Chains A and B, each alone.
Chain A
Amino acid sequence: MSERVELVMSSEEIQERLRRDRNRRRRKGILFHVTVIAFGFLMIYPLLWLAGSSLKGPQELFTNMGAIIPRSGIVIDNYIRGWRGFGGVTFTTFYRNSVIYAGIGTLAAVFTSAVISFGFARISFPLRGFWFTCMLMTLMLPVQIQIIPQYIFFSQLGMVNTFWPLLLPRFLGQAGQAFFIFMMVQFIRGIPLQLDEAAEIDGASKFSTFYRVVLPLIKPAMVTAGIFSFYWTWGDFLTPLIYLNAPRLYTVSVALRAFADPSGTTDWGAIYAMSFLSLVPVLVVFVISQKQIVEGISTTGLK
């Protein structure tokens, strides 16, 4: 690569050389951007295709299959037909169920994680290290280990076909919350201890120290936890599949599976429409909160 440089160059030669270098760099830069964008487009093409197909008329679905933008105008009929759902239950019900699960589940997960992480981060008590290690080890545990006994437990309590088996673990720091607790503990450790001490000198109890001093300061970590919790609950399939067996209780993910059953409907327009619609909340949250997501994954390995 390195050419031999003459020791003496005229100023024109230097200018010329600089210009050539700049051009080469610019060409390389353009090539980089074009390649990255082209490949990126390929990456999200399936999603764009899904969105586009949900707006196509019945003929175009098969004749103009690969296109993203419908040739013969936008058709919203797919969404109207799809929303009617199946078995007399519409997607209104499914969305309501998903909102219950994701909404309550997320609020519970975020708040209990904050409480638990304060305990681990700020109060020393016997066996703290041991419990903390136990908590981190649950991160490695596949859910398949617990689902059978948990199902037996919840069915003996008569909680099958209720939301309790889905929500209760989220009030009790389980179901992947070890990630959140770990993240918040790291976050709390970054807060100066003097703030706690000052509050305690003023006679604040541990709980009011947590509630008035620490909680307002860990909001960023809580937002990140909330975003991920929303993703996990909204997209969760296995838990609702096991515990919710009546269509009126289905969440969107379970309903979508039944709706798109190959032996049942073949209304592909409606299936695309409902599939894409179920992704919209996730994509919207992603666009709004990209920064927290990227930081959350990069710093703690959340998934």
Chain B
Amino acid sequence: MAESTGVASNTRVRIRPRTHVSIATRKKWLAGYAFISPWLIGFIGLTVIPILAVFYLGFTRYDIFTPPRWIGLENFQRMFFRDPRYWRSVNATLYFAFTSVPLRLVFALAIAMVLNTKHKALGLYRALYYTPSIVGTSVAVAVMWRQIFSGRGLLNWFLAQFGIQGVSWLGDPRTAIWTIIILVIWQFGSPMLIFLAGLKQIPTEMYESAAIDGARARHRFFRITLPMLSPVILFNLIMQIIFGLTVFTQAFIITGGSPLDTTNFYALYLYRRAFENFQMGYGSAMALVLLAVVALFTFVVFKSSAKWVFYETETGK
């Protein structure tokens, strides 16, 4: 950073900082780069170049078998103005992300607060509530879920025991997306664990002095728990939104995007375009929009976080 001394600097000045770098130091630099070289090669070859490639491919028509052909903005024009399926997938994805992420976090926080006691059985309960998350994104669970909500599935069997006629949960455009939302809420384990760790960090003296001052439980929650947890909530929010925008396996298996594209989530539609129809250019254009949206969400959350995230001053690092 400091070596950008400008063009005007004469040779003596330019050489001087270099002579300070001993051979031992240079060897150390080399060793450092040697150690991180696997990551560096992977980062450049499998992340940076692919991202640059997406920026190019998004403006081409490319079916893998014939060379890519530059078509300018046509992919984007088609996407935004002539592809109703695209907008349906955007709708479905946003609906999914904005219902499942808050519900999941609220659920995770509620359970974490209930479990945040010094019971001997805490470890057991924690494990019990985390189990769905450990298997949650697997194909096996998705297959099971499809079976639970199918016409002759477990849910309708239970309803029938009470004489209730079930509906076709996966076939009805109003309910299909909710089967996947429920599946995702069911896997609240990771945010729950993160919240539990966060709750443990809050000094009990805070609650004690608040209680002495006559603060009610509601006040203690809004004035102590939430502000103290806000950095953790921020972290969870970002990660979960990105997760919510890229949900794939569950929809692919449970509903396959139907009915009427109500669960044809962005990642699923992108996959279909790129790998089933071999429209790599169109898929790349979709990926670019996704990149922009994810960057935007991350940016907004980070920016707004100054308003609602409370960082403890220095003490707890």
Contacts and interface: CB of A to CB of B under 8 A. Distances in A.
Interface stretch (A5-13, A14-22, A169-177, A191-199): A169-177
Interface in B126-165: 126-132, 134-135, 137-141, 143-148, 152, 154, 157-158, 161
Interface stretch (B82-90, B173-181, B267-275): B267-275
Interface stretch (A38-46, A72-80, A83-91, A216-224): A38-46
Nearest to A302: B190
Contacts of B115: 36
A141 B46 CA distance: 12
Nearest to B160: A65
B196 interface: yes
B270 A46 contact: no
A36 B54 contact: no
What band does the interface of chain A fall in when counting residues whose beta carbon is under 8 Å from B? 35 or more
Given A43-B186, A46-B144, A142-B294, A238 B135 contact: no
B31 interface: yes
A159 B42 CA distance: 17
- Could you say which of B39, B126, B242, B243 has the most chain A C-beta atoms within 10 Å of its C-beta? B39
Interface string B36-75: 1011111101110111011001000000100000000000
A257 to B, nearest CB: 5
Contacts, number: 250
B36 A275 contact: no
B94 interface: no
B111 to A, nearest CB: 8
Interface in A116-160: 116, 118-120, 123-126, 128, 131, 134-135, 138, 140-153, 155
B295 to A, nearest CB: 8
Given A298-B193, A298-B196, A44 B43 contact: no
A166 interface: no
B253 interface: yes
B114 A36 contact: yes
Interface residues of B, number: 87
B158 A144 contact: no
A86 to B, nearest CB: 14
B275 A242 contact: yes
A66 B161 contact: yes
Contacts of A123: 28-29, 31-32, 35
Contact of B154 (A49, A253, A290): A49
Given A119-B35, A146-B51, A235-B137, A44 B132 contact: yes
Contacts of B117: 32
A293 B134 contact: yes
Given A36-B125, A235-B138, A174 B43 contact: yes
A276 B46 CA distance: 34
Interface string A199-240: 000000011001000000000000000000001000101100
Interface stretch (B96-104, B219-227, B244-252): B244-252
A47 B50 contact: no
Interface of A is mostly: helix
B290 interface: yes
Contacts of B119: 32-33
A303 interface: yes
Nearest to B275: A242
B304 to A, nearest CB: 17
25 contacts: A46-B141, A46-B144, A47-B131, A47-B135, A65-B154, A119-B32, A120-B36, A131-B39, A140-B294, A142-B242, A144-B266, A144-B290, A148-B280, A148-B284, A149-B53, A152-B280, A169-B42, A172-B45, A173-B38, A173-B42, A174-B46, A181-B39, A231-B134, A275-B139, A278-B140
Interface of B: 28-29, 31-36, 38-43, 45-47, 49-51, 53-54, 57, 64, 114-115, 117, 119, 121, 123, 125-132, 134-135, 137-141, 143-148, 152, 154, 157-158, 161, 186, 190, 193-194, 196-197, 235, 238-239, 242-243, 245-246, 248-249, 252-253, 266-267, 270-271, 274-275, 280, 283-284, 287, 290-291, 294, 298
Interface of A: 32-33, 36-37, 40, 43-44, 46-47, 49-50, 62, 65-66, 112, 115-116, 118-120, 123-126, 128, 131, 134-135, 138, 140-153, 155, 168-169, 171-174, 177, 181, 206-207, 210, 231, 235, 237-238, 242, 253-254, 256-257, 260, 262, 268, 271-272, 274-276, 278-279, 282-283, 286, 290, 293-294, 297-299, 301-303
Top 4 nearest A-B pairs by Cβ distance?
A172-B42, A119-B35, A125-B32, A173-B39
